[in-house]
Structure formats: C-alpha cells, structure tokens
Amino acid sequence: MTLSTRVKTLLHSKSERKRLLFYALVIALPLAQVAIFYFGVNINSILLAFKEYEGGSYHWVGFDNFKRVLTEIFTDSTAEWRFAFKNTFVAWIVCTGIGMTLALFFSYYIFKKGIGKNFFRVMLFMPSIISSIVMVILFTYFVDSFIPEFLMRYFDTEIRGLLSDPRTTMFMIYLYNILMGFGTNVLLLSSAMSSVSDSTVEAAQLDGANNLRLFWHVVLPQIFPTFVTIFIVSVANLFANQLNLYSFYGAYAEARLGTVGYLLYKRTVSAANAQYPELATIGLLLTIVIIPLTLGLRKFLEKVGPSDE
Amino acid sequence: MNREHKIKNGSKKGFSPLMAALFVLLIVYALLILFPLAWGLGQSLMDGMRLDSTVVPWPSDWQFSNYIDAFVHFYVPVQAEQGTVYPTLVYMFGYSFVYAVGSALTATFVQCIVAYLTSRFNYIVSRIINVFVLIAIALPIVGSLPSEIQMAQALGLYDTLFGIWIMKGHFISIYYLVFYARFKTFSRSYEEAAQIDGAGNLRILFSIMLPLIKNLFWTIFLIQFIAFWNDYYTPLVYMPTYPTVAYGLWYYNQSTENALTLPMKVTGCILMLLPVLVLFAVFSKRLMSNLTMGGEKE
C-alpha cells in the first residue's frame, strides 16, 4: 500500500480519524516540552556561543568567544584548566577502571549466589538511594574528625584529617566516588547476568571450567552489550563528571582538585547574563570533542568485543 | 557422576579463591558504607555540647531532643521579594516533598503515556520519536545549563514549583524505553475486545492499559521520587526561593553562618535519610527488581 493510499484510508475511516485525533492531542504537549527544553535549549546554546552580552542585550560577535575561550584554555594563566583536564581523565581512568571492574566481579558474585548475596545486593544498591550530600557530610566528618581523633585517643598517633591532608585528599575523593558508583551499574550488570541460562553454566562447569574461566568465557561475552552501554555512558559523561566536588566544597574546591564538569557547573551557578555566552562556547567545544569520541568508542568496542557464539 | 550431581543441584554455586577474595572485598565495601552511617546515627544522639566524635553514647545518654532542636535551628536565608526570609526545616521538608512528588509524577506519567502512544499507534511520528529518544540518550551534550536557565526565565518557569514540574516532565529517559518495551509485549486483542465493547481511546488507555502496567508505573515513580528527593542541584539552580532539605544540608555544609554543632548537622542528615530508608524498607523488593527492557522482572 502506498503512502497516499494509506493516508486516504486513514482519513476516510471514522475510527481511524478518532484514533489519529486522540494521538495528536495526547502527544502534542510532551512534544512541545521536548521542542522547547531539548531542541530550543540546545539551539539557543549554540547561538549563545556566537553572541556577547553588552548594554543589556545580546549581540553577534562571530567566533570571538571561541578565540577567547581557546586562548584561556591553552594559555591557562591560573593552571585551572590544566588541572581540570588532567583530573577529568585521571578520574575517569581510576574510577571507571577500578569501579567498573569491581562492579563486574561483584555482580558475578551475586550471580553465583555467593555467601550473603542478598545482604551485599542491598549494600551495593544503597548508594542509589542515599543522598550524595548526606553521604558527603557523613564521610567528611568520619575521615576528617573520627579517624584522627580515634587514632589519637586509642593509639596516641597524630594524623591530619584524611580529606584535609593534601597528600590524601585526592585519594579520598576517588575512594568516595568509587564506593558511591556501584548502585545502578551492579543492578544493570546483575540483571544482565540473570539472563545467562543455567544450562550454559552447567555445561561449562561439566567441561571443567573454574569460576574465573566461567566468568571470562561464558558470562562476560553474554553481558558484553550491557557492559559496553555502561562504559559508553561513562565516556559520554566525561566532561560532566564533577567527582562530587560541589557537594564536598561548594564553589571553593582548590584548583588542583577541579575537573572540567566541576569548573563548568561552578561557573554556571554563579554566572550572570554576561558570562552565559562564554560558558555556552566551552560547552559547544567540549560537545564537539566528546560526540565523535563516544560514538567511535562504541563502534570500536562492538567490533572487538567477545562473541558469545 | 558425583561432580555432575553437585553441579546440577546448584548450577551457579561454587566457592573458589575468586569467590573468597570477592567476599572479603564485599565485606570491606559494606563496612565502608555502614560505618559512617552507624557513626552518624550515634552522633545524632549525642549531647550537642560534647565535641568528641569518637564517643558512642550509651542508650541511657541518647539525646532525642537533637531531632526536635534541628527543626528550630536549621534554617537557610532566602532572598525573597519582601527581603531575606529564613525557612526552617519544616518548610524545607514541605518543598522537598512537593518538588519530589510533583516532578516524579509528571516525569513518570509523560514517559508512560508517550511510550503507550509510540508502542500502540503505528504512525511515522511514533517511529521518529523512538529513534530520537535513543539518539538523545546516547548523545552527550555538554554545557547547555546556561541556555536552559535563560529559557526557564523567559517562559516564567524559573523559581516556581509548577515550572520545575514542567521542566522535569519529559520523555528523553531510559524509563521511556522500559515502558515502551512493556507496552510492546501486550497483545492487540486487548484493544480490539475493548473497541468491540464500545470503549473509546481514552477509556482503553485509562481503564485497560494503565492498570496493566500499574506495578511498573509505581516502581519507576519510586525510583524517580528518591532521585528528586536527594537532588540539590536543581533547587540550587532553578528554585532559589524554595530550599529543599537536600539544598539546606548542602548550604549548611558550605556555610559558616549559624554554625551548627556536629551532632546537629548529622541529625539533619539522618532526618533527610529517614523517609528514603522507610520507603526502601517497605518497597525494597520492588526497587531492586530487574527493570529490564522487557519491563519489570520479579
């Protein structure tokens, strides 16, 4: 049936007309919302990157913002950007590398029905329901007050707060982010593992596969698409990752701790109309970098990933 | 034979050095999560004047008055039209509740309804929406926050609770895909039988399809409610005169004015955690169920 005949049939049947009207009326509002808050916002963001705020209104300035932003990033007089880019990539390698590996193995432990799997499942889910600000406050006091006071009182050993001590600050921030990052990942990975059939596992075990071989040759290939999705989401969020620094320090984290996501968010929260174009420009430049990186990595992983055949 | 029997009886079970190592790591992880929480609970029951964080109070010394004092001493300054006002914890709880319930309800409802339409009405728009959601979720767009603030201000949605509900009520979400997958599993005969009985499109939606997915609907609502309850970024940026509890705690963690004692701050944390922990205790099975792309898997 051609498109025009379909349209004719659609309009001539009374019930089809009613169906179409119902569809159009109900979907109109959600579509309007997305048109404004997705397309409108992003188009406005692109346009802002080519404007400047002066005398109470915005004016076109061509690529001036890009020149200014790139100069700021590359000359980097305050070293803020250098730290931010370095920390962003190091944090991604550390938190994703350790966090994802542990999430995979913890999910495998639950899948293999290890001792206390229900308790651990609840514990691993906890970071998903506990507010980051609550956990940050408790964690900060715990490592900065409790641990030094405890060591002083019972072991007569004097140490600085682990977050206050510059030598351990970054380590504690990474540790916190790894601990809090398990929730959704473990839920998704253990969901995917639950679909691995018992007969496949039995067959592998009868063939003499130990736990590590079973994980590597049977389970991992079958959950690889889920693993790729989680991995790609972590790459896509590379420049949005704040490492919870805004929860720890508000707008006053030391420059050496900052990430790109933190820097952008901190500046946006305190920005006025005049700063919006510069922030939109930085956002646009980062988007230009991250989109091909994300899509390319996805394609690469799908190509080289293990096959479950 | 014995080995085969053992495997068949517990096909996924088996302890090995790997499992032992994972067990130890999981114990360490659980302690790292539980210890600060238990310590915080102990501190919230301490005498507010005592400053030693290593002391765990005996039950006879528990100060439940901290929980009442928190409602008096916890307040944040807000720049309103009539000058600076100081909403207390009662107001913050109220704003948190209205923000979280309203946003979770609009978001879940919109995702559910749009998924119903795109999965059951085979129009070209449905197919476009479906592809668009997949692309929009996967496409990382950085730094659109300034533009979003501008848009909210221009439309009069900035700093209003109603405005934030509208902004949160979109379908570009993983939960849209979960609803979509669930609706796709239902047979066409549901609608056909209802149509023969004279039911209209609205009635089919509200009397047949929505009751079929009510469990999934409330599960997703709960997940989103908890996320909004814990969120302080949105109130900080979009609702400056409606401070929520999460925002209040963040504010107190950064601010030096009206400095609260450690037990008082920690009491605020426990108070904020309580509703979420109660919800989790009641609905833990539902919250931890597998939200697969085929819907909720019990």
B chain contacts of residue A88, beta-carbon cutoff 8 Å: none
Q: Decide if B3 is inside a domain.
A: no
Residue B18 has its nearest CB partner, among A31, A212, A282, at A212
Q: Are residues B121 and B204 in the same domain?
A: yes
Q: What pLDDT score does A4 carry?
A: 62
Contact assignment for A250 to B16 by CB distance below 8 Å: no
Cα gap B111→A33, rounded to integer Å: 12
Which CATH number fits the domain A78-304, given the four candidates 2.40.50.140, 1.10.3720.10, 1.10.4080.10, 1.10.10.10? 1.10.3720.10
CATH number at residue B134: 1.10.3720.10
Which of B7, B8, B16, B26 to probe by mutation at the A interface, max A CB count within 10 Å? B26
Q: Are residues B164 and B215 in the same domain?
A: yes
Q: Chain A: residue nearest B53 by CA?
A: A146
End-to-end distance of chain A based on CA atoms, in angstroms? 39
Q: Chain A: residue nearest B13 by CA?
A: A112
Task: Considering only residues A11 and A236, tell me which one the structure prediction assigns the higher pLDDT.
Answer: A236
Q: What pLDDT score does A100 carry?
A: 93
Q: What pLDDT score does B298 carry?
A: 41
Asked if B273 has any chain A CB less than 8 Å from its own CB, the reply is yes
pLDDT string in tens for chain B (298-residue length): 455 555 554 445 556 888 999 999 999 999 999 999 988 888 888 776 555 666 666 666 777 888 888 888 788 888 888 888 888 889 999 999 999 999 999 999 999 999 999 999 999 999 999 999 988 887 777 778 889 999 999 999 999 999 999 999 999 998 999 899 899 989 888 888 888 888 899 999 999 999 999 989 998 999 999 999 999 999 999 999 999 999 998 988 887 665 567 777 888 888 889 999 999 888 888 787 756 544 444 4
Q: Are residues B237 and B139 in the same domain?
A: yes
Give A208's DSSP letter.
T
Contact assignment for A279 to B145 by CB distance below 8 Å: yes
Cα gap A262→A245, rounded to integer Å: 7
H helical segments located in B83-213: 89-120, 124-138, 145-154, 161-168, 174-184, 189-196, 201-203, 210-212
Q: Decide if B9 is inside a domain.
A: no
Partners of B85 in the beta sheet? B78
Q: What pLDDT score does B91 carry?
A: 93
- If DSSP states are collapsed to H, E and C, what string results for A105-142? HHHHHHHCCCCCHHHHHHHHHHHHHCCHHHHHHHHHHH
Residue B276 has its nearest CB partner, among A36, A108, A129, at A129
Burial class (CB in 10 A: 0-12, 13-18, 19+), A122: middle
- Tell me if A248 sits within 8 A of A13, measured CB to CB: no
What percent of chain A stands above pLDDT 70? 94
Q: Decide if B23 is inside a domain.
A: yes
What percent of chain A stands above pLDDT 90? 50
Asked if A207 has any chain B CB less than 8 Å from its own CB, the reply is no
Q: Are residues B141 and B250 in the same domain?
A: yes
Contact assignment for B125 to A111 by CB distance below 8 Å: no
Answer whether residue A116 shows pLDDT above 80.
yes
Contact assignment for A130 to B10 by CB distance below 8 Å: no
Asked if A290 has any chain B CB less than 8 Å from its own CB, the reply is yes
Cα gap B23→B25, rounded to integer Å: 6
Partners of A64 in the beta sheet? none
Q: Are residues B28 and B120 in the same domain?
A: no
Q: Decide if B6 is inside a domain.
A: no
Asked if B215 has any chain A CB less than 8 Å from its own CB, the reply is no
Residue A113 has its nearest CB partner, among B12, B54, B139, at B12
Residue B50 phi, psi dihedral angles, 5° rounding: -85, 135
At A16, is the pLDDT very low, low, confident or very high (cuts 50, 70, 90)? confident
Helices (H) and strands (E) in chain A — how many of each? 17, 2
Sign of torsion over alpha carbons B7, B10, B12, B17: negative
At A3, is the pLDDT very low, low, confident or very high (cuts 50, 70, 90)? low
In this structure, the number of other CB atoms found within 10 A of the CB of residue B164 comes to 24
Cα gap B206→B72, rounded to integer Å: 45
Asked if B193 has any chain A CB less than 8 Å from its own CB, the reply is no
Q: Are residues B96 and B146 in the same domain?
A: yes
Rounded to a whole number of angstroms, the distance from the CA of A290 to the nearest CA of chain B is: 7
Rounded to a whole number of angstroms, the distance from the CA of A60 to the nearest CA of chain B is: 16
Q: Are residues B137 and B203 in the same domain?
A: yes
Q: Are residues B256 and B179 in the same domain?
A: yes
Cα gap A259→A90, rounded to integer Å: 10
Q: Are residues B138 and B263 in the same domain?
A: yes
Which of B26, B41, B63 marks a domain boundary? B63
Q: Are residues B57 and B115 in the same domain?
A: no
At A210, is the pLDDT very low, low, confident or very high (cuts 50, 70, 90)? confident
Asked if B35 has any chain A CB less than 8 Å from its own CB, the reply is yes
The number of distinct structural domains making up chain B is: 2
Residues of chain A with CATH 1.10.3720.10: 78-304
In this structure, the number of other CB atoms found within 10 A of the CB of residue A178 comes to 20
Tell me the average pLDDT of chain A: 89
Residue B260 phi, psi dihedral angles, 5° rounding: -95, 155
Q: Decide if B10 is inside a domain.
A: no
Q: Are residues B32 and B105 in the same domain?
A: no
- Tell me if B295 sits within 8 A of B181, measured CB to CB: yes
Residues of A (42-101) whose Cβ lies below 8 Å from B: 42, 44-45, 48
Contact assignment for B280 to A129 by CB distance below 8 Å: yes
Segment A24-42 shows an average pLDDT of 96
CA B110, B114, B117 angle in degrees (round to 5)? 145
For residue B173, give its domain range: 72-297
Q: Decide if B11 is inside a domain.
A: no
Which pTM was predicted? Answer: 0.86
Q: Are residues B175 and B109 in the same domain?
A: yes
Contact assignment for B148 to A37 by CB distance below 8 Å: yes
Residue B142 has its nearest CB partner, among A33, A102, A283, at A283
Q: Decide if B27 is inside a domain.
A: yes
Q: Decide if B220 is inside a domain.
A: yes
Contact assignment for B171 to A34 by CB distance below 8 Å: yes
Interface predicted TM-score (ipTM)? 0.85
Asked if A219 has any chain B CB less than 8 Å from its own CB, the reply is no
Residue B286, amino acid: R
B chain contacts of residue A210, beta-carbon cutoff 8 Å: 16, 18
